[in-house]
Structure 1
């Protein structure tokens, strides 16, 4: 079963979203149609309120949006329960994309300390496939899976992961991973598209990107977003600042040259923003080794 909604190339990321206003305005006023959500973000109720308001107050329909949701490590014992709970909170009937957030399952002990649980991914994936069969999600995928994990999945999966959401920006180009995903027709989704969020570091003050941005009358962030889109994958924009959200989707009126694309790619440092130590459970260090 394929989604009736194509994947929009700029998505609205809901990580650290603290109120309904930004999501509502991003969809209604700015034209965002790809909404990336996840249990770890702890804002399902808020997203549901925003979606309900959008559908009740505007002409935008459910089928106009591409809504994805990520299964967290504490939910892997009940894949269907996690999904139905999400749908209930979002007040919708299906997802466009349901993803496994990380290839690790865990639970919290009485003191809220994480303890890894031995749940094989092939068992989790069987249940993910069942969600497609039941019509609760149009497509299924993964996030933060490496090549080895994906190759293993291909030995047993009835439905090959249709997406892999990974960190992608000029300081982390992941060329080999992109070649692999293209070969097996797995669509990448690029998160952290702007690298570090600190306005005084990284892409925002990268001289090479600034020169290109000046040429097109764009910001460095817009150049980074456009670079990702021209590499062929959707990119996720996340900001609590409405003006930045407006700029981040305003990237379709120009095109970078082949030489500019190569120049930006040459900035690669294999530098990750997201690593195990940035996650409260600290179980994921080996994934990014």
Structure 2
């Protein structure tokens, strides 16, 4: 299939750096439980395919144990480093963030990442001081030039409030599970008020893990109207709220189809209709060991 001639728009972060509005993720589907296991050639090939298809925003994390594969894909792609936006995250080695970024960069074969995130706040067990200390280490990483932007992932309002009390650099972005069945109450409005951007992982969960819900008829109707798939409608719902969408696939056709989200826009009313339909149903795909079943935070 020929590469779509589509220009992926950027979202400007609070620090002035720009992040592409769609990212290719190397987590969930590719997660390796053992960091010493052999390299996953299928992931290397899939990430190279994503780059070839037009994805420039590549999302990884140390806990996925896939940074070496992502690094190999970047190297083998032949695309110059300045054309790519690379994200990784720290949690396994949260006790030593400056050491963790060095390890990640070595595995990636890079001298810096574009975005470095604290993968989750739960290690702190509600201790504000612990969160603040770790954010100070993230600021050290940014000052060293090893990460152009720094941010967090899976943080809720109390966690963000804690680090904002002492932060010298505001988190540029918070990457959270976000889709119509998990809208987190007023968390999006909170981010806008604090000028922190949002990236959404798991944006397709309403059709991949929670099909049969109240959204299905509306997604089918809108997919027919725009001549796209229900998945593309979900991605567009995210992007139309100025939120970055992170997704994945190993299939070239699907990767190409996802980029069609930049050929149409939902109307504000359609975005609202999807939001309203989604609020009637709750589904969380990740961190269920942390949250109660009906906790929509």
Q: 1:167 aligns with which of 156, 166, 177?
A: 177
Is the aligned partner of 1:225 residue 2:235? yes
Total equivalences in the alignment: 268
Match of 1:142 among 126, 144, 152: 152
Are the equivalent residues in 2 in contact too, given 1:47–1:90 (CA < 8 A)?
Answer: yes
The alpha-carbon distance between structure 1 residues 85 and 200, as it changes in their structure 2 partners (threshold 3 A), is closer
Pairwise CA distance, 1:5:
5.8
User: For 2:17 and 2:214, how far apart are their aligned partners in 1?
Assistant: 33
Task: Map 1:74-223; keep pairs closer than 5 Å.
Answer: 74-105=92-123, 120-196=130-206, 198=208, 201-202=211-212, 206-223=216-233
Aligned residue number for residue 20 of structure 1? 44
C-alpha offsets along residues 55-97 of structure 1, whole Å, 9 cap, x if unaligned? xxx3x2111111111111x311110111111111111110111
CA distance in 1 between partners of 2:214 and 2:262 (Å): 20
SS at match of 2:200: strand
Paired residues of 1:276 and 1:288 also in contact (CA < 8 A): no
Secondary structure, in 3 states, of the residue corresponding to 1:179? helix
Give the secondary-structure state (helix, strand or coil) at the position aligned to 1:88. Answer: helix
Q: CA deviation at 1:219?
A: 0.3
Contact 1:203/1:220 (8 A) holds in 2:
no
Check conservation: 2:183, 2:296, Cα contact below 8 A: no
What is the distance in 1 between the residues matched to 2:286 and 2:296? 9
| Correspondence 1:44-55 to 2 at 5 A | 44-54=67-77
Task: Report if aligned partners of 1:3, 1:138 keep a CA contact under 8 Å in 2.
Answer: no
In structure 1, the residue matched to 2:21 is 9
Residue of structure 2 equivalent to 1:35: 58
The alpha-carbon deviation at position 165 of structure 1 amounts to 0.5
SS in 2 for 1:20: helix
In structure 1, list runs of 5 or more residues that go unmatched.
107-115, 278-283
CA RMSD in angstroms comes to 2.6
What is the TM-score normalised by the length of structure 2? 0.83
Could you tell me which runs of 5 or more consecutive residues in structure 2 were left unpaired when the two chains were aligned: 1-12, 31-39
CA contact (8 A) 2:14 2:196 kept: no
Q: Does the 8 Å CA contact 2:135/2:167 hold for their aligned counterparts? A: yes
Match of 2:272 in 1: 262
